[in-house]
Amino acid sequence: MPETATPDSTRPDTAAPYLPTERTVPTRSKERASYDRKLVHSILDAAYVCHLGFVRDGAPVVLPTLFGRIGERLYVHGSTGSRPLRAADGADPGLPVCLTVTHVDALVLARSAFHHSLNYRSVMVHGVAVTVTDPEERRIALDAIVDQVVPGRSRDARPADAKELAATAVIRLDLDEVSAKVRTGGPGDEPADVGLPHWAGIVPLTRGYAEPVPADDLDPAIAVPPYLSR
C-alpha cells in the first residue's frame, strides 16, 4: 500500500527498526527474527488475509479476515454485530489482539522427517485494537482494505452508502510491537543422514492469478480494467 497518511496519524513511517519486546522475541530460531521496518511492510503489503487472535469468554479465538495497511496502522473491518469488533468499540483501552500474516514460499524436504520445514515470511503484531469512528478515517481505511486485495479497485467501485457504512465496523491496530520472521534455504539434515537414499531439497511455491471471469450479468461492453489485466 502507498504510504498515505490517515487523519490525525501520529505514527509516521521512519527508517528506524521496530524495538524488540518480550512478546516479539521468539524463543526458537531467534536468528530468523527481524525488526526491519521495510521488511515488515513488504511482507504485509504482499498479503491481504490476516489472522486476528483475541480472547473471548476466557478462550482464544482466531479469525481469518481481510486487512489494509496505511503507514504505521493496520485496519480490519467487519460487521457491527461482530463480537470482537464490538469489544473494541468504546472500550478502555480497547481489545488486546495478536495479528499475523504468513507467506509460504517453499516446501523444505529433508532426508529425515524431523527436519522437514517450510521457507516462509511472516509478521506478528501485538497491540490493542480500537474502533475507528472518524468518518474520513473510516472511508480511507475501507478503501485501503479494498486496494490491499486489488490495488486500484477502490476507485473503480461504488463507495459504501450510509446503510452499508452503518453496518460496517472498522478497527485500527498500530504497528508498535512488531516482528518479522523469515526462513530461506534448503534442508538442515544431520551429517549422518546426508548419505541416505532419500531425495532432499525444496519445492518452490508461487502465487498466481488466472484470467478474470466476468459476472454472468456484466455488460459485455465493459472491458477488463487495466489493474486486472496487468
What percent of the chain stands above pLDDT 90?
Answer: 77
Average pLDDT for 102-130: 97
Structure confidence at residue 8 as a pLDDT band (50, 70, 90): very low
Q: Give alpha helix (H) positions in 150-181.
A: 162-166
CA–CA distance, 154 with 150 (Å, rounded to integer): 8
Check if the beta carbon of residue 193 is closer than 8 Å to that of residue 32: no
State residue 5's pLDDT score.
44
Residue 229 has pLDDT above 70, yes or no: yes
Quick check: is 178 in a domain? Answer: yes
Quick check: is 14 in a domain? Answer: no
Phi, psi of 51 (to 5 degrees): -120, 120
Average pLDDT for 103-113: 98
Average pLDDT for 84-99: 75
Average pLDDT for 141-160: 95
Residue 92 has pLDDT above 90, yes or no: no
Cβ neighbours, 10 Å, residue 4: 13
State residue 86's pLDDT score.
65
CA–CA distance, 73 with 89 (Å, rounded to integer): 17
Residue 156's CATH number: 2.30.110.10
Quick check: is 68 in a domain? Answer: yes
Quick check: is 24 in a domain? Answer: no
Tally of structural domains, the chain? 1
**Cα 90 vs. chain centroid, distance in angstroms?**
24
State residue 90's pLDDT score.
55
Q: Between residues 14 and 108, which one has the greater pLDDT?
A: 108
Residue 6 has pLDDT above 70, yes or no: no
Quick check: is 172 in a domain? Answer: yes
Q: Give alpha helix (H) positions in the chain.
A: 37-45, 83-87, 135-149, 162-166, 226-229
Give the pLDDT confidence of 191-214 residue by residue, as tens digits. Answer: 999 999 999 999 999 998 899 999
Structure confidence at residue 4 as a pLDDT band (50, 70, 90): very low
Check if the beta carbon of residue 122 is closer than 8 Å to that of residue 43: yes
Quick check: is 3 in a domain? Answer: no
State residue 80's pLDDT score.
74
Quick check: is 218 in a domain? Answer: yes
Question: What residue numbers bound the domain in which 53 lies?
Answer: 30-229
CA atoms within 13 A on the CB side of 128: 8
**Cα 124 vs. chain centroid, distance in angstroms?**
9
Quick check: is 95 in a domain? Answer: yes
CA–CA distance, 180 with 34 (Å, rounded to integer): 5
What percent of the chain stands above pLDDT 70?
Answer: 89
Average pLDDT for 36-51: 97
